[in-house]
A and B are shown apart, each in its own frame.
Chain A
Amino acid sequence: MHPIFRLVNRNLTISLNMGFVIWQVIFPVIYIFVAGFAYTALIHNVPFGQKSLNYPAFIASGMIGFNIMNSTLISGIIIWNDRRHGMFEQILVGPFTRAQYILSNVYTIGIIGLVSAGLITAIGYPIFFKSVEFSVLTVPLVVFASMTGAILFGSIASIISTRLKSSEGFNVVINTVFLFFAFVSTAFYPAQGAPPILATAFYLNPLTYLVDVVRAGIFGTLLIW
């Protein structure tokens, strides 16, 4: 087996525990089924391209991009744990190059990101199935956007994990950065109608692009977007 795949195998084994899977499912389920329906009292319909989506469908589709971002935190955690528990140096004195170590993390992020996207799509499908318009063109684009987004956010998490020395610092910085990404984006609400400064900030955030491409792919508005 190629060294990168051996490292991916190892990364997946050490990362995928029951706690992580539950966190990956419970968190978005609460957003979709609790926040999604609770907020319908305030938000009835959300305009998206030529469509008007009900809020649960809007947030369920937004949760896919949100969950991809969340799941890629694992990459930062893998590197952080490897450094903290001595495995980083141990791997580098083994039959691997630094490039293979980094690429294995990128592949791990890509796999976790895609699985995560698939999982939330499955969970959210009953909510947004009425408006779904998948096509041969949009599906590969959504997959591409999901992987690109996963790698981007995974890389950000990885960079943070290599720069910080204390676990408290790592937790504070990673949570602050990802909180900003999550809430200053179109994952939970549309940019239209938001104060202009906030709307501009939305579009400085890569999560907005990931969420919008995924959402446009699901609802068949990709070309319009």
Chain B
Amino acid sequence: MLCIEAKSLFRSYGNVTAVDGIDLSVESGKIFGFLGPNGAGKTTTMKLLTTLIPPSSGTMTILGIDASRHPLDVRKKIGVVLQQPSYEPTLTVEKSLEKYGMMWDVDVKTRKERVEELLTAFDLQDIRKKKNDDISIGQRRRVQVAREFMHDMDLLFLDEPTAGLDPSARRGLLDYIKGKVRDGLTIFFTTHILEEAEYLCDEIAIINRGKIIAVDTPDELKNKFGREKTIKIRIGETQKEISGILQGIGNYDIFRDEGTVITIHSADSEQVLVKILQALQSNDIPIEDLSVVPTSLEEIFLTVVKNSNASNISSGK
């Protein structure tokens, strides 16, 4: 079942087109990652889907509801953690959660239980009596995300939720989200940290200049755009000319970094690796370290965005 279905979604601000006719389909119970460079249209898309702003044209069906016609009905069923911080400076952490639950009409007993659960899950017990104004940016972000779990929802929009979090808090949050998805929640997730998207998302869309330029599972994106692997070889001290030794091995790039690390990107990594090992061995060059790394989502992201920008330039857009 589709949780989000957007067709030909378009939004402009004056002469500037922020979202340029995108189509999106997000299945229920999945984590959908929405990636893109700064100013690509991620936040505008998020604002459209959460009914904060209306589209200039196009249709959006969220949880089976026509979002343009019944925005309030949609908002009653979704949760949203916006990119910008939001907090009430005069309230304590504990009171913030409690009042947010009250705003969502959660009954008193459930509110109390959830406050305790979230204070523990988000590691906020020590600062529960502190005012939002007196805690760090990262702690405030944790309160902001935790607060959204005070109410029931079918779909949660998270706009860069881990911004400002330390690695441990970030991993804790991602694991908490994964747990909620196992319970049936659907997540629409934007981030700049591509390891997060790789760790969390079932499907990923990449947006650039208001258009979706790639949509697939992380593995399929890698298959499509990242068949190359990176071979990294650290060699011992040698007076020999490495590039001369490796010359003619195949169609690949060699980068020398600080003289002892050779980085090779190749789609034909196994054969290239055998040839390199033979060449180094026959020249008595010792290998100190060797690794073969599949192309990361980050490299795929950079490739896809770069290709998209190049095609826009060549088409004169």
Residues of A within 8 A of B (CB): 1, 3, 6-7, 9-10, 13-14, 17, 81, 85-87, 89-97
Contact = CB atoms under 8 A, between A and B. Distances in A.
Most buried by B among A6, A10, A17, A90: A90
A42 B104 CA distance: 57
B87 A86 contact: yes
B86 A97 contact: no
A93 B102 contact: no
Contacts of B86: 85-87, 89-90
Contact of B91 (A13, A90, A93): A13
B50 A93 contact: yes
A14 B99 CA distance: 10
A9 B105 CA distance: 12
A116 B102 CA distance: 26
Interface stretch (B74-82, B178-186, B189-197, B250-258): B74-82
Given A91-B103, A93-B78, 17 more contacts: A1-B105, A6-B105, A7-B103, A9-B99, A13-B95, A14-B91, A81-B89, A85-B85, A86-B86, A87-B88, A89-B82, A90-B82, A90-B86, A92-B52, A93-B75, A94-B80, A95-B103
A90 B88 CA distance: 11
Contacts of B51: 93
Name which of A81, A94, A96 has the most chain B CB atoms within 10 A of its CB: A94
Interface of B: 50-52, 72, 75-76, 78, 80, 82, 84-91, 95, 99, 102-105
14 contacts: A7-B103, A10-B103, A13-B91, A13-B95, A17-B90, A85-B89, A89-B84, A90-B82, A93-B52, A93-B75, A93-B80, A94-B80, A95-B105, A96-B72
Given A9-B102, A13-B99, A93 B82 contact: yes
Given A93-B50, A95-B75, A86 B105 contact: no
Contacts of B80: 90, 93-94
Contacts of A14: 88, 90-91, 99
A82 to B, nearest CB: 9
Contacts of A3: 105
A94 B82 CA distance: 11
Contacts of B91: 13-14
A85 B87 contact: yes
Contacts of B84: 86, 89
Contacts of A10: 99, 102-103
A96 B72 CA distance: 7
Contacts of B103: 6-7, 10, 91, 94-95
A17 B76 CA distance: 30
A81 B91 CA distance: 13
Contacts of B102: 6, 9-10
A7 B88 CA distance: 13
A78 to B, nearest CB: 10
Nearest to B133: A85
B85 A94 contact: no
A95 B72 contact: yes
Nearest to B84: A86
Most A CB contacts (10 A, CB to CB) among B76, B82, B88, B99 go to B88
B90 to A, nearest CB: 5
Considering the complex of A and B, which 3 residue pairs feature the smallest CB-CB distances, nearest first? A86-B86, A90-B86, A93-B80
Contacts of B85: 85-86
Contacts of B72: 95-97
B52 A85 contact: no
A89 B81 CA distance: 10
Which of A13, A89, A95: most chain B CB closer than 10 A?
A95
A8 to B, nearest CB: 11
A4 B105 CA distance: 11
A134 B75 CA distance: 49
Which of B72, B90, B95, B104 lies at the interface centre, i.e. has the most chain A CB atoms within 10 A of its CB? Answer: B90
A89 B80 CA distance: 10
Given A13-B95, A81-B89, A93-B50, A86 B82 contact: yes
A214 to B, nearest CB: 30
A1 B89 CA distance: 25
B181 to A, nearest CB: 21
A64 B72 CA distance: 40
A7 B72 CA distance: 16
A9 B89 CA distance: 16
A86 B141 CA distance: 12
A87 B95 contact: no
Contacts of B50: 93
A47 B103 CA distance: 50
Most A CB within 10 A of own CB, among B52, B85, B103: B103
A95 B90 contact: no
B97 to A, nearest CB: 13
Given A10-B102, A10-B103, A89-B82, A94 B75 contact: yes
